[in-house]
Chains A and B, each alone.
Chain A
């Protein structure tokens, strides 16, 4: 865990003698403030958390002009599960920065782009539809069934990371 330092020493190194109860309280509050700041930084840096927040934001989108922009519960839950799964499948900092977009039918697209390639994980609106992986480079494209293996292989193809999965 990173330490926030002042004059090359951790700020808690400057705590006054423990006999002074009032200052103990001040020091505790300072420690708590630092802990919260570090947690906040970690949260902001964690792509899974950022994507979870983006996903929640989709629930606030209004439908319009005959399009269903707000995701169905089915699509939302699947997208959430995939994002959590991604965090376990690969190191979070290495799975790039996908964007989340409504498909206009109550589904959600999780999209990656890079190196002239694009990958879309389509989370469909209902259980009568099949979620799938789509990848494209130039005029070459294919859709694949979604499994942990195909997802990992596709992200490797995309070039966002080259590490093996966690064991």
Chain B
């Protein structure tokens, strides 16, 4: 059973980690590409996956990753988004729409802004 205390809202000072699954999500200069934050129709029904620790962000992944992307929860909230824990080792960045219809511009913009505030750690 999940301890409810663990699933309390993250504080704004919390750092969350997202696995760089795409080989080009992190540029050679360490900057993060916005494609790392596109919400995919068949992959991200509840939001963009992230984790409270670097080790947790690669749990359940079946292929090697290409580094780790970090985000400051407070800065994510500054964009009007939120980071909601779903279990002790996983959370979702919520509020990013799919790149479809009238939402495609806002979805691309938010992905770009998330990339702007993100930092990277190479493997």
Contacts and interface: CB of A to CB of B under 8 A. Distances in A.
Contact of A102 (B22, B105, B112): B22
Interface stretch (B7-15, B35-43, B69-77, B87-95): B35-43
B22 A69 contact: yes
Interface in A39-68: 61-62, 64-67
A104 B112 contact: no
Contacts, number: 63
Interface of B: 19, 21-24, 33, 35, 38, 40-43, 61-65, 99-100, 104-106, 108-109, 112
Tell me the dominant secondary structure on chain B's binding face: loop
B40 A67 contact: yes
Interface string A109-148: 1000000001010100000010010101000011100000
Contacts of B21: 64-65, 67, 104
Contacts of A102: 22, 24, 35
B105 A143 contact: yes
Interface of A: 61-62, 64-67, 69, 101-105, 109, 118, 120, 122, 129, 132, 134, 136, 141-143
A66 to B, nearest CB: 5
Contact of B104 (A61, A67, A101, A143): A143
A105 B104 CA distance: 14
Contacts of B22: 64, 67, 69, 102, 104
A104 B104 contact: no
Given A120-B108, A141-B105, 16 more contacts: A64-B22, A65-B19, A65-B21, A65-B62, A66-B42, A66-B43, A67-B22, A69-B22, A101-B33, A102-B24, A104-B43, A122-B99, A122-B104, A122-B108, A141-B108, A143-B104
